[in-house]
Structures are given as structure tokens and as C-alpha cells.
Chain A
Amino acid sequence: MHEQGDFDRFLHAVDVDGAIAETSHQRQLVLSRRGLLAGALAGAGALLLGGSEARAASGLSANDVGILNYALVLEYLQASFYTEAERSGALSGKTAQAAQVVGATERAHVKAFQKLLGAKAVKRPLFDFQGVTEAQQAFLKTAVAFEDLAVAAYKGQAPKLQSNAVLAAAVGIHSVEARHAAWVRELFGVTPAVNAFDKPATKQSINHIVASTHFIVAHPKMKARSRPQYTG
């Protein structure tokens, strides 16, 4: 499993700077201002499942809202990453095709969670992918790390969900993230399915890993490469 070491080295290449803590602090402010328990949500399962007959409970518990917002941040991260990679024009062949499909799916997950959470949805954080969307191998390596993370994150949260409608949708997304993980692993040239049992990860460990990448930033990226420099 040498690839795991590579990813760890890659993900821990830079030190934690508290960006994710800042993001989650902002998230808490947003949430408490809007009121965690207010509002009723109808059709959550139907929405996420794309119009099936499943109906959600009339409201989501604070517990489920918290989990859905955590999932939404991970979906924002993935959707922005694939969108930026597609736009960079650095991808080709099967990788470009996969990125298009996976990117569209992650954007659909974002939209579904936003709609489900309504006013309770956290805002999209600012991202700086530090060039990994601009080269195919770096893109694939990061995609593998993100998708494996998403699988472990959903797995860690699924048994904690209280609403059966949300759980039904979440497990359907969980397995799609696993498909993505295997797909990008295959494209990167590492074994798509390493162990017989995939292990879950806690919110804390996921947050730590995401923070260590510095991909979530507190301020907009300075677009040195795509914008003219103004000195005065």
C-alpha cells in the first residue's frame, strides 16, 4: 500500500494553519443566526433520490442538519476541485471524461444538499487548490485522496443519521463516492479496492486532513496567473 504513504506525504506537505477552524467558526455563526431547529423540510429523500416516491419527515433534527452541512462542505470541496480542473484544460483522454462525469455528480450533490438544507445550508468556502488542478497526475492523485476521504466520511456519519429518508439518500451517495474513488484510482494506476472492508473516519480526522491541505482559505486567491498585475 505504498500509495497510502504517498497521499499522506502529499496531504501533510504543509502544516495546519487553522483555515478549516476559521471556516467552521463562520459556519457556526451562520447556523446559530438562522436557527438550527427552525423550518420544516418536505421531500428530502425524493429530492436527493431524484424524484422517487420517498418522502422525508416534515423536519430535520439538529443532528441531521449538522451532518448534512458537514457533507455539504466536502461536496463543495470536491465540486470546486473538479470544476476548476475541467476549466484548466489540463486533463485529457479518459481522465478528462471521468472528471466531467464525476464533477457533474459532485455539483448535483451540492445542489441537492443546498436545496434540502435551505437557509440552513453553510456557504461555499473559498478554495485555493494550489496548482493541483493544472496537471493531470497531480489532479488524479488529489482526486484519489478526496474520494477515499469522502467514502470514509459518509461511512462515519451514516449510522448517526436520524431521518430514514436522509439515510436512504446518504447511502446512495456513499456508494457513488466509492465508485468515484475506484474510478480515479484505476486511472491513476493504483489498486481500486485495497481491503475487503473500508473503514470509516471521524469528522475530526477528516477535518484534520482537509486542513492540512490548505485548500480551504480565508481570503480569495490572488489570481496571479490569470489576471494582469496592477502595481498602483
Chain B
Amino acid sequence: MAPSAAETRTTDARSRLQLIVAGGVGLAAASPILRALLGTGAADAASKSEDLRILQLVLLLEYTQVALYERALNEASLTGELRDFAQIALGHERQHLAAVKQALGSKAGPKPRFEFGLKTKSADAFRETAIKLEDIAVAGYNGQATNLTKPTLAVAAEIVSVEARHAAWVRAIADEVAAPDPVDKPMTASEVAAGLREIGLRTS
């Protein structure tokens, strides 16, 4: 069977991210478009090494999302729309995680541990945690937009709006205002790290 449009899109975004961040020098030499994508002149603070540093944070974020949804689907007896949400969001987060891992290659940090406590044990606790985590994801990606090189920003933008859709969806399920601010407030890297720790991320 031919790959679906969604699968093609995923492969496309993943390979672009990998190419942009991890090198792809040989290919770049062969293709003027890829050469342009990879670029040579860093116009400002954004650089490929800065992209790599930011992607390590994104890796932790995506690991946390995958782990939260996997455990909640196993442990929280989710039903109805909340279960649909968790299943669909998990599928997306797995694809984001795969893309980021592939982009980082051997530089990818180890898989972290998680202590979610009661957060994955009931539907109510999971729903509230998912709202927090998706809001952190949106704020975290937004907070790094000006630090990323433009090609990496383009791929990050394809991910952040999906995180924002998840955030709004789970908020709507909870009967909360899905878009509370006219402009989403960004978070710094350390704020994101602290937020993830609070949810259950353990890196040591």
C-alpha cells in the first residue's frame, strides 16, 4: 500500500530536521535547495550548535509527553473523548519524538525516567496534567523561536501548532477556555525544565 499523505508528511518533516541539524553535508553538496536550507552564514545568535542545544530540551519535552500518554492509557481507565484525545496525541508525540531523536542522532540524550505519581492514575488527574504539559509544550517551543535557525524554526512551527491543538482540545474536553490569551506567553528553557520536573521528569 502506498504511504498515506500523513505518513509522507511525517517522513518529510523528520528527514528535513535531521538534515538541517545533524549534517547531511554530502546531500547538501548535491542539491542546491538543500544547500540553501543548511546555509553557511549565521546572521545572528541562532546557529546549528544552538539548534542542537535547544533540541535536547525539546527531546525531554517529547519524551515526557509520550510517557504521560502511554501510562495514562494503561493506568487511568480513560473513556470517551478523553481516551480518543490521549490516543491521537500519543501518536503525534511519538512522531515528534522520533523526528527529534533522529535529528540529534548520536548526540541525543538518554531516555529519562518518570515519576508521575497519581497523575496517570485517574482520568481527572491525567486531564489536568495533560493541560499543563501541552501548555508548557506550546510555551516552550514559542520561547525558542527566535533562538533557532530559520530552517529549524520552520520545522518547529509545524510541531508547535499541533501541541497548541492538543492543548485546546484537552481544555475543551475539560470545559475550560481553550485559548485564554490573545498571544500565547513564551517560557524560557529553565522554566520549561522546571515545569517538566514538576510533572514527573527525572533526568538523574
Could you list which residues of chain A lie within 8 angstroms of chain B, going by C-beta atoms?
48-50, 98, 101-102, 104-105, 108-109, 112, 151, 155, 158-159, 164, 167-169, 171-183, 186-187, 191-200
Nearest residue, chain B, Cβ from A155: B157
Cross-chain contact A193 with B178 (CB below 8 angstroms): no
Could you list which residues of chain B lie within 8 angstroms of chain A, going by C-beta atoms?
6, 9-10, 12-13, 44, 88-89, 91-92, 95-96, 138, 141-142, 145-146, 150-151, 153-154, 157-169, 171-173, 177-179, 181-186
Residues of B within 8 A of A158 (CB): 145, 153-154, 157
CA distance A45 to B96 in the complex (A): 29
Name the contact of B6 in the complex, choosing from A112, A159, A195 (C-beta under 8 A).
A195
Cross-chain contact A182 with B164 (CB below 8 angstroms): yes
Cross-chain contact A192 with B168 (CB below 8 angstroms): yes
**Closest CB of chain A to B175's CB: distance in Å?**
8
Residues of A within 8 A of B157 (CB): 155, 158-159, 171, 174, 198, 200
Interface residue SS majority, chain B: helix
Residues of A within 8 A of B138 (CB): 175
Cross-chain contact B162 with A196 (CB below 8 angstroms): yes
Instruction: With A98-B178, A176-B184, A180-B178 given, name 20 new contacts (CB 8 A).
Output: A105-B179, A112-B182, A171-B141, A171-B160, A172-B186, A174-B160, A174-B161, A175-B163, A181-B168, A182-B172, A183-B171, A183-B179, A193-B92, A196-B9, A196-B95, A196-B159, A197-B9, A198-B158, A198-B162, A199-B158
Given A172-B142, A182-B164, A192-B165, A197 contacting B186 (CB threshold 8 A): no
**Closest CB of chain B to A46's CB: distance in Å?**
11
Cross-chain contact B161 with A155 (CB below 8 angstroms): yes
**Closest CB of chain A to B44's CB: distance in Å?**
8
Cross-chain contact A168 with B145 (CB below 8 angstroms): yes
Residues of A within 8 A of B171 (CB): 179, 183
A-B contact pairs, 10 of them (CB 8 A): A159-B157, A167-B146, A168-B146, A171-B160, A172-B184, A178-B165, A179-B184, A195-B10, A195-B162, A196-B91
Interface centre among A48, A155, A167, A176 (most CB of B within 10 A): A176
